[in-house]
Amino acid sequence: MRTHRIGLVVPSSNITVETEMPAILSRHPTAEFSFHATRMRMNTVSPAGLAAMNAQRERCILEVGDASPEVILYACLVAIMAGGPGEHQRVESAVAEQLAAGGSDARVRSSAGALVEALKALDAKRIALVMPYTRPLARQVVGYLEAEGFDIPDWCALEVADNNEVGRIASDDVMKAARSIDRTGLDALVISCCVQMPSLRLVQPAEDEFGLPVISAATAGAYSILRSLGLDVNIQGAGSLLRTTTPVQP
């Protein structure tokens, strides 16, 4: 069985991506994966903190590129969405150009772009979001997704600015927020619109409870990685997004 090498670019205070992404992809029936991370300093989720983190991107791409990954996931959703509509396309293109200049043909994905990709794969137009961010940042995320063509009638922001605390948000608090949302007419619920807020164990139970597709930034990222590698999307217990056995193309 072939092992696919995955590069991760994460905030320095993130403890969730390197836990949830391997947990998801380890369930794949026909492929194995290894994960190789580089970190950008960031502790406070604020415009200034995100800008300072993004300024470290080129260094981090050089570092993780040395591991020769097949796919690199730029794993900080709000850092990209705070850059304004279409920023995931600009960042992914800039990273790909930087890698190509160094002789790497690694595929590049971002958590922001992966979420858009996943929602479109579900044909979801009317969606709701659970986010850990302060309300001003949460509104930027809402505006970003609306610019991508999604209707967002309701959303919940837990207003946690300390990224270390985001990684410790309790499952009960996430589910309480999800249950507070008006789910009338929704096509999908994003139960964690953040790669740091733990949610993997909630995706399938929430989908069963609410009776509609439920995804997270992590399951969307896994979906995008599998698609980029041309692998079947066939992972159980992580929501309907990851339960198709139809072969996909990168």
List active site positions: 76, 194
Gap between the Cα atoms of 82 and 224, Å rounded = 21
Tokens of 146: 């609306």
Tokens of 6: 């995955």
pTM of the model: 0.91
Tokens of 77: 């959703």
- Which residues fall within 8 angstroms of residue 18, CB to CB, at 6 or more apart? 8, 10, 35, 37
Query: Residue positions in the annotated binding site for substrate?
Result: 14, 76-78, 133, 163, 195-196
Q: Provide the pLDDT for residue 1.
A: 66
CATH class of the structural domain 114-216: alpha beta
Strands (E), the chain: 3-11, 32-40, 71-74, 107-110, 126-131, 151-157, 188-192, 214-216
Gap between the Cα atoms of 227 and 31, Å rounded = 13
Domain ranges of the chain: 3-111+219-242, 114-216
Exposed, middle or buried: residue 111 (CB in 10 Å: 0-12, 13-18, 19+)?
A: buried
Beta bridge partners of 4: 33
Beta bridge partners of 190: 129, 215
- Which residues fall within 8 angstroms of residue 36, CB to CB, at 6 or more apart? 5, 6, 7, 8, 64, 67, 69
Same fold, 3-111+219-242 and 114-216: yes
Gap between the Cα atoms of 65 and 169, Å rounded = 32
Q: Provide the pLDDT for residue 174.
A: 95
Gap between the Cα atoms of 106 and 79, Å rounded = 22
Quickly count: other Cβ atoms within 10 Å of residue 222's Cβ.
Answer: 31
Among the listed residues 106, 100, 112, 113, the one whose alpha carbon sits nearest the alpha carbon of residue 36 = 106
Answer yes or no: are the C-beta atoms of 75 and 98 closer than 8 Å: no
Beta bridge partners of 36: 7
Tens place of pLDDT per residue across the chain (250 aa): 679 999 999 888 888 989 999 999 999 988 999 999 988 886 777 777 777 777 888 888 888 888 899 999 998 888 889 889 998 998 888 888 888 887 888 899 999 999 999 999 999 999 999 999 999 999 999 999 999 999 999 999 999 988 889 889 999 999 999 999 999 999 999 999 999 999 999 999 999 999 999 999 999 999 999 999 999 898 989 999 998 644 433 3
Gap between the Cα atoms of 161 and 176, Å rounded = 19
Q: Give me the sign of the Cα torsion angle 236, 73, 82, 161.
A: positive
Q: Which residue has the tokens 């439920």?
A: 214
Gap between the Cα atoms of 206 and 187, Å rounded = 14
Gap between the Cα atoms of 133 and 66, Å rounded = 33
Helix H or strand E encompassing 208: helix 200-210
Answer yes or no: are the C-beta atoms of 222 and 24 closer than 8 Å: yes
Identify the CATH number of the domain defined by range 3-111+219-242: 3.40.50.12500
